[in-house]
Structure 1
């Protein structure tokens, strides 16, 4: 018997009645029952960082996939297969509107280890979604860091300048505060990150005097861009705002508070993990990173 948990935006659910001999369509039916996400638009991920499972063959057995008892399956709705939430070419979530007034909304991007880079590119380019932009931004950051070893020393980076440049170019690494700060300087704009768990706004480039502001929302492990859209309109989304517009920060906090009330965040300091290579128990993102650094193991599952 497989003891799995299904984690979606409407909460975490214990999945019962599945075994290694269950088929993919049985798994999808169970996920649909628990989350309300139709089978045809389910995106199911496992591991840490999460990686997508290819579940296109509904008759395949679960024993043929890297799923073990105790794993947490992360489930998302594949927005590119939906039309009911589309606003022009932009896919949004969490916003209900009844008029033609522009509202602030989350634009969901893939959870593919590069969500930060995809999100920043989207907002600074005025709503241009390019899933191939991450390698370019990773290389850009590496070049900036390599050219300024004094500012970007081991004390700042947590590793040598050379090791960091190699590390950030990898497509399985996650961006964070250092990378946001670098891109804020490069694009000459304030980047505001709203945290759905703490309702804190981190403003990168706040004291530099930039005139432009862009916004991201962060749930503990994933970044999405924020944009103003008009429901049912073909007008392009607005992603760049004035740094004098503090109302937009209030609206961003309201959106984050709505997500917090729905428990749409992950406490990365306290959530329990297990290394799926050596089965060692870990607590929080910091322990997982240290374990990966010491052992080279990179496949983690939430317990």
Structure 2
């Protein structure tokens, strides 16, 4: 078929696949994707849609059309991690997950309550939270992929991501964000919004302000995170009937925005946030007390210590 084109997003940027038709085999598609990304065929992990859902490419003799892929589609291509041998105990430990609504047919109309899902406070809470609203499960392994795609996005556009924007030289930022103890913020949220094609709404429980990343792109769907001054958590809709949770919402549904605002107000009134100007933490490496975010950040830079506990 002439004019059959597929867009491919990877952590290194967006590319275009030409030279295929809808009647070509899945194996031919996988070979093309492997050539384009440098990933081995057996390690390709391909997703599409909103939120991204895995496309089954196991039947290599079937056609591209059989997989539901049509010209103009955008595929997100990741590299699977090599499987490591696990002990029986490790096999039991699976990421926490629940049945999760993955398409618009399952969308509800305010038939539930918006709830905060607690994710680990391990300096990758932003990435874990974004992974949760996309996939309905807590999986800290997604942080490495997101850090790398952010670093690549920043490195590829030094004019957009200048030292004035980043607060440090472009190259230094890229090295910094790849470190597992580096925290994500507004810059990282905006890049993830663009990459996944979703509006990401961040509700600040300190100020009650809502920031809508990707709002000007007029995306069809949005997800919600709540930020307490230090830590990000994802928000999800818990249905009254106990069915599947919902983390993806149409951008034309303003009721969920209002509910998220109310949740932030409740969190603020009950002081479920960290006052970044006045909070006190103890460095658990050297047992020094530090007051405020700037002091903690400077201490981390000076010593390399990142193991802090808040003092109430």
Which bin holds the TM-score, normalised by the shorter protein? 0.5 to 0.7
Match of 1:292 among 300, 304, 308: 300
The one-character-per-residue Cα deviations of 1:22-71 (angstroms, maximum 9, x if unpaired) are: xxxxxxxxxxxxxxxxxxxxxxxxxxxxxxxxxxxxxxxxxxxxxxxxxx
Larger radius of gyration: 2
Which structure 2 residues correspond to residues 139-288 of structure 1 after superposition, within 5 A?
A: 139-231=148-240, 233=242, 235-275=243-283, 282-288=290-296
Q: How many angstroms does 1:124 deviate by?
A: 2.9
TM-score (norm 2): 0.60
Equivalent-residue separation in structure 2 for 1:101 and 1:300 (angstroms): 40
Structure 1 unaligned runs (5+)?
1-80, 91-99
2:117 aligned with 1:107, yes or no? yes
Q: How many angstroms does 1:287 deviate by?
A: 2.7
Q: How many angstroms does 1:87 deviate by?
A: 9.5
Q: How many angstroms does 1:89 deviate by?
A: 5.7
Q: How many residues align?
A: 208
Q: How many angstroms does 1:254 deviate by?
A: 1.5
Match of 1:137 among 137, 146, 150: 146
Q: How many angstroms does 1:290 deviate by?
A: 2.7
More RCO (CA 8 Å, sep 6+): 1
Could you list the structure 1 runs, at least 4 aligned residues long, displaced by more than 4 angstroms after superposition.
Answer: 86-90, 274-281
Q: Would the aligned equivalents of 2:134 and 2:247 in 1 still touch at CA under 8 Å? A: yes
Q: How many angstroms does 1:297 deviate by?
A: 4.0
2:111 aligned with 1:119, yes or no? no
Residues 114 and 230 of structure 1: is their aligned pair in 2 closer, same or farther, counting only changes over 3 Å? same
Equivalent-residue separation in structure 1 for 2:304 and 2:272 (angstroms): 30
Q: Would the aligned equivalents of 1:87 and 1:232 in 2 still touch at CA under 8 Å? A: no
Q: How many angstroms does 1:139 deviate by?
A: 1.0
Structure 2 SS opposite 1:293: helix
Structure 2 SS opposite 1:110: coil
Q: How many angstroms does 1:210 deviate by?
A: 1.5
The one-character-per-residue Cα deviations of 1:217-247 (angstroms, maximum 9, x if unpaired) are: 11121111111122563x3321111211111
The one-character-per-residue Cα deviations of 1:173-229 (angstroms, maximum 9, x if unpaired) are: 111111101111111111111111211111111222222111011112111111112
Structure 2 unaligned runs (5+)?
1-92, 101-109
Residues 139 and 254 of structure 1: is their aligned pair in 2 closer, same or farther, counting only changes over 3 Å? same
Residues 218 and 299 of structure 1: is their aligned pair in 2 closer, same or farther, counting only changes over 3 Å? same
Q: How many angstroms does 1:294 deviate by?
A: 3.9
Q: How many angstroms does 1:116 deviate by?
A: 0.6
Q: Would the aligned equivalents of 1:197 and 1:267 in 2 still touch at CA under 8 Å? A: yes
Q: How many angstroms does 1:276 deviate by?
A: 5.5
Structure 2 SS opposite 1:207: helix
